[in-house]
């Protein structure tokens, strides 16, 4: 005799009972943790990520959803926000940069973390590029190579260079700054460290730079709570060369920028996310390495400073802006 209980048992075994399909198709939940302001997250980051995930079989609202937390340019907010995402039982945490990666890993040792940062091995997030060995993987850009080449670009554009003022957040890993110092020393250039806690630190550094012939500035991109654009603007006002790894800072008045990058950064992160959501172990997923470089020079700033672009640098430039 076939009973209702027997029928339900068969349906459950086949995944056809009421609610079984809904349970099986519960969307995967990605937790996005970033210092980036909310407006940029909503208008750029999330739409781009959904667009990159769609061709990989993950469609917004159907089988994947994104929840997010913004530290609004304040790294101190990252740890509690990371714990909030973990409490929401996300399937994966997507972060960007070393502070956010630290916050996410401190919050969980089991939930996979996909990140983009300069040195995953030096930061302690991976045993090797090929086999990270933990719950963190993603894309990597060698900050060492980037910063060395940036110093080379500055020296080529500004032959009078004698001293570089390095602007950075106090939370920046010491080895990042020291490598810039070492790179400058190898080229016979002195350097001055400028940890930026507030605008007064920037102004004090420029007071010194104005007194020293041959001084220039190198700013790391993320200086919250101070906007690095302030450094570029002061450079233009006082006719002091400023370089960075951010093309936008060059377009808005900086002398030049150099960066190693991934041609499709969002696409690469999406590919890693898709692998993990399908069951791959992040410990076995290699970090993606950069496949291109970007050298941008501002010709208006070059003229303002009375400089010239050396022919070899002109050939290597990927973008000239005015």
> Looking at the predicted structure, is the pLDDT value of residue 19 above 70?
no
Q: Are residues 75 and 116 in the same domain?
A: yes
Here the CATH number for the domain that contains residue 47 is 3.40.50.2300
Helix (H) or strand (E) holding 46: helix 46-53
Instruction: Compute CA 247 distance to the chain's CA centroid, rounded to the nearest angstrom.
Output: 14
Q: Work out the mean pLDDT of the chain and round it to a whole number.
A: 89
Q: Are residues 97 and 118 in the same domain?
A: yes
- Please report the pLDDT score of residue 233 as a whole number: 96
More confident residue, 7 or 173: 173
Is position 1 within any domain? Answer: no
**% residues pLDDT > 90 (the chain):** 70
- Please report the pLDDT score of residue 22 as a whole number: 44
- Please report the pLDDT score of residue 16 as a whole number: 44
More confident residue, 73 or 55: 55
Q: Are residues 194 and 306 in the same domain?
A: yes
Q: Are residues 128 and 229 in the same domain?
A: no
Gap between the Cα atoms of 250 and 294, Å rounded:
12
Q: Are residues 246 and 270 in the same domain?
A: no
User: Residues 253-257: what's their mean pLDDT?
Assistant: 96
Do 98 and 90 touch, CB atoms closer than 8 A? no
> Looking at the predicted structure, is the pLDDT value of residue 251 above 70?
yes
- Please report the pLDDT score of residue 262 as a whole number: 64
Sequence-ordered list of residues with C-beta below 8 angstroms from that of 23, at least 6 positions apart, any chain: none
Is position 3 within any domain? Answer: no
What is the token pair recorded at 96? Answer: 């960007």
Q: Are residues 36 and 54 in the same domain?
A: yes
Is position 97 within any domain? Answer: yes
pLDDT in tens, 155-165: 999 999 999 99
**% residues pLDDT > 70 (the chain):** 91
Gap between the Cα atoms of 22 and 7, Å rounded:
19
User: The pTM is what?
Assistant: 0.69
Q: Are residues 53 and 104 in the same domain?
A: yes
Is position 282 within any domain? Answer: yes
Instruction: Tell me which residue range forms the domain holding 124.
Output: 12-141+263-290
pLDDT in tens, 172-223: 878 889 989 999 999 999 999 999 999 999 999 999 999 999 999 999 877 7
Q: Are residues 109 and 192 in the same domain?
A: no
- Please report the pLDDT score of residue 32 as a whole number: 98
| Residues counted in the chain | 322
> Looking at the predicted structure, is the pLDDT value of residue 50 above 70?
yes
User: Residues 46-69: what's their mean pLDDT?
Assistant: 96
Is position 4 within any domain? Answer: no
Do 120 and 173 touch, CB atoms closer than 8 A? no
User: Residues 46-61: what's their mean pLDDT?
Assistant: 96
pLDDT in tens, 62-114: 999 999 999 998 889 999 999 999 999 999 999 988 889 999 999 999 999 99
Residue 14 binned pLDDT confidence (cut-offs 50, 70, 90): very low
pLDDT in tens, 121-155: 878 899 999 999 999 999 987 677 788 899 999 99
> Looking at the predicted structure, is the pLDDT value of residue 7 above 50?
no
> Looking at the predicted structure, is the pLDDT value of residue 8 above 50?
no
- Please report the pLDDT score of residue 20 as a whole number: 45
Is position 184 within any domain? Answer: yes
Count of the separate structural domains present in the chain: 2
What is the token pair recorded at 242? Answer: 């400023």
Q: Are residues 304 and 172 in the same domain?
A: yes
Distances (CA, A) of 298 to 28, 214, 218, 223, 243: 44, 19, 15, 22, 10
Q: Are residues 270 and 199 in the same domain?
A: no
Q: Are residues 311 and 175 in the same domain?
A: yes
More confident residue, 265 or 152: 152
């Amino acid at each position: 005799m076939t009973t209702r209980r027997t029928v339900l048992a068969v349906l459950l075994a086949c995944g056809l009972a009421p609610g079984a399909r809904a349970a099986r198709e519960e969307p995967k939940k990605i937790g996005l943790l970033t210092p980036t302001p909310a407006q940029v997250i909503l208008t750029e980051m999330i739409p781009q990520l959904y667009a990159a995930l769609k061709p990989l079989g993950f469609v917004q609202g159907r089988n994947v959803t994104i929840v997010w937390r913004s530290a609004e340019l304040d790294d101190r907010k990252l740890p509690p926000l990371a714990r909030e995402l973990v409490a929401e039982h996300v399937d994966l945490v997507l972060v960007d940069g070393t502070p956010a990666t630290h916050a996410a890993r401190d919050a969980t040792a089991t939930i996979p973390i996909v990140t983009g940062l300069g040195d995953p091995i030096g930061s302690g997030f991976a045993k090797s590029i090929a086999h990270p060995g933990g719950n963190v993987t993603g894309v990597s850009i060698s900050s060492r190579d980037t910063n060395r080449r940036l110093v080379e670009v500055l020296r080529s554009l500004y032959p009078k260079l004698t001293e570089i003022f390095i602007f950075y957040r106090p939370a920046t890993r010491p080895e990042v700054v020291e490598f810039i110092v070492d790179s400058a020393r190898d080229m016979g250039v002195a350097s001055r460290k400028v940890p930026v806690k507030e605008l007064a630190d920037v102004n004090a550094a420029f007071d010194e730079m104005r007194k020293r012939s041959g001084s220039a500035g190198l700013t790391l991109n993320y200086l919250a709570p101070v906007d690095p654009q302030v450094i570029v603007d002061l450079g233009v006002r006082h006719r002091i060369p400023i370089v960075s790894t951010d093309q936008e800072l060059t377009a808005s008045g900086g002398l030049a920028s150099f960066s190693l990058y991934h041609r499709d950064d969002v696409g690469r992160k999406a590919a890693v996310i898709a692998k993990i959501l399908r069951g791959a172990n992040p410990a076995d997923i290699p970090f993606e390495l950069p496949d291109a470089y970007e050298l941008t020079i501002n010709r208006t700033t070059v003229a303002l400073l009375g400089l010239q672009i050396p022919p070899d640098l002109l050939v290597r430039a990927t973008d000239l802006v005015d």
